[in-house]
Amino acid sequence: MGLKSLEELHDMPNQPLDVQSQYTRRINDAQAARAKLAVAGETLDSVLRIQTGVVFCAALGIILWLIFHGYSTIVCFLVGLGSLFQVVVFYFLSGFVRALTQTQVETLRSSLSCMCLSAGIPDPELPTDESEDEGSK
């Protein structure tokens, strides 16, 4: 962006600014970002839950292999303890990702609501008066 000439600066107040369409565009972009954030969070949560199951099954298989091949109980116990730790970490990490995603989506939702309110645009996710009247019938 270069510097504007004096004539362009002088003519700027005469040019109509379509603030409503700019707000609408930004709100639509934010809604798309919110949807992408929700999908990414759900995907990561699913991956971590699947990883929890895979680690549990792999640990069980390794422990059974160690037992059938004559390894000592202490080795099997240590492998099981390490695997249990991994399962617990993946499980709680999955819950953390889920909670973080929900928080971010709700924060973005609140920001969108404030943007709609400040622009004088009706919030598409809030019920209108007509829908409240229909719901009460």
34 near 105, Cβ under 8 Å?
yes
43, pLDDT greater than 80? yes
pLDDT band at 130 (very low <50, low <70, confident <90, very high): low
| H helical segments located in 19-128 | 19-68, 73-119
pLDDT tens digits along 58-100: 888 988 888 888 888 888 888 889 888 988 998 899 889 999 9
In a domain, 9, yes or no: no
In a domain, 127, yes or no: no
Residue 78 structural domain: 38-119
In a domain, 28, yes or no: no
What is the spatial distance between Cα 3 and Cα 1, in angstroms, rounded to a whole number? Answer: 7
Threshold 0.85, pTM exceeds: no
For residues 21-38, give the mean pLDDT: 82
What is the spatial distance between Cα 110 and Cα 127, in angstroms, rounded to a whole number? Answer: 15
* Phi, psi dihedral angles at 3 (to 5 degrees): -75, 145
Number of domains into which the chain is organized = 1
In a domain, 84, yes or no: yes
14, pLDDT greater than 60? no
What pLDDT score does 19 carry?
67
In a domain, 124, yes or no: no
Which residues lie closer than 8 Å to 21 by C-beta, 6 or more apart? none
In a domain, 30, yes or no: no
4, pLDDT greater than 60? no
